[in-house]
């Protein structure tokens, strides 16, 4: 697993030059979080299929990408979102996350409830709780916390202003902190939370790394290769 941004940037560059091992390393580093984002849009049943479509486009268009690890995450997230929305339109369904569209109207609290929620998310309390958020908050939280995008990249992905994404992420994290409080209370209604399986720690926290292998002859990449 790639351990930091420099290694992911190098792996993307090597993959652009036909290194299949590097492309696999990029896939292993980015896919779990990207899949988590797709699940917030289309649900568990169709997430793998949409992710496959997204990675086929990523592989096809990789030569046209330019930038570092952060830009790559944002670029991949935009592709994944577009494929997910295409899938929703084709199926004639709305996104499954955020059935409650009620917006939180309170102002940001002085206490660091968002930070507490962020810490809890890092320990595995993830998609079940995020699924209880309104759609805009769910997407903002997943892009910022799970995928690891900054506010500008997340805003580019969603077609919104960075300030709007920051607000949605803050509100979502605050609501998650409230949900975590209910879950932790004796007799609470939280129940069992299913972690986001296979999601590594945030970038820069993973010890060790898999360096891209030697350059091999370039050929069309398939899901079997990843």
Distance CA 116, CA 69 (A): 27
55 against 204, higher pLDDT: 55
Specify whether the CB–CB gap between 212 and 46 falls below 8 A.
no
Q: Classify residue 76 by burial, with Cβ atoms within 10 Å: 0-12, 13-18, 19+.
A: buried
Per-residue pLDDT at 126: 61
**Which has the closest alpha carbon to 126: 33, 17, 19?**
33
Q: Which residue has the higher pLDDT, 113 or 57?
A: 57
Is the model more confident about 218 or about 125?
Answer: 125
Q: Which of 50-54, 78-82, 208-212 has the lowest mean pLDDT?
A: 208-212
pLDDT of residue 93: 55
What's 85-149 look like in SS3? HHHHHHHCCCCCCCCCCCCCCCCCCCCCHHHHHHHHHHCCCCHHHHCCCCHHHHHHHHHHHHHCC
In the predicted model, what is the mean pLDDT of residues 58-63? 96
Summary mean pLDDT of the chain: 73
- pLDDT tens digits, 138-165: 999 989 888 889 899 999 999 999 999 9
| Cα dihedral value 123, 179, 109, 99, nearest 10 | 110
Question: Which residues 6+ apart lie within 8 Å of 144 measured at CB?
Answer: 150, 151, 154, 165, 169
pLDDT of residue 210: 38
- pLDDT attached to residue 102: 30
Which stretch of 6-10, 54-58, 163-167, 204-208 has the lowest confidence by average pLDDT? 204-208
Summarize pLDDT for 12-35 with one digit per residue, the tens. 999 999 999 999 999 999 999 899
């Amino acid at each position: 697993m790639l351990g930091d941004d420099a290694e992911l940037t190098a792996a993307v560059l090597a993959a652009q030059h036909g290194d299949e091992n590097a492309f696999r390393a990029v896939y292993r580093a980015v896919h779990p979080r990207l899949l988590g984002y797709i699940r917030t849009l289309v649900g568990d049943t169709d997430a793998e299929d949409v992710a496959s479509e997204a990675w086929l486009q990523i592989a096809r268009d990789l030569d046209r990408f330019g930038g570092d690890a952060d830009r790559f995450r944002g670029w991949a997230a935009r592709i994944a979102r577009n494929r997910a929305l295409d899938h929703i339109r084709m199926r004639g369904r709305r996104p499954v996350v955020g059935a409650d569209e009620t917006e939180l109207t309170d102002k940001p609290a002085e206490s660091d409830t968002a930070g507490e929620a962020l810490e809890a998310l890092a320990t595995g309390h993830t998609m079940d709780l995020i699924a209880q958020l309104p759609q805009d908050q769910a997407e903002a939280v997943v892009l910022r916390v799970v995928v690891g995008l900054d506010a500008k990249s997340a805003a580019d992905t969603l077609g919104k202003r960075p300030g709007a994404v920051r607000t949605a992420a803050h509100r979502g994290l605050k609501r998650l902190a409230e949900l975590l409080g209910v879950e932790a209370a004796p007799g609470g209604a939280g129940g069992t939370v299913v972690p986001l399986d296979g999601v590594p720690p945030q970038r820069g926290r993973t010890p060790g790394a898999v360096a891209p292998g030697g350059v091999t002859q370039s050929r069309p990449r398939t899901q079997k290769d990843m």
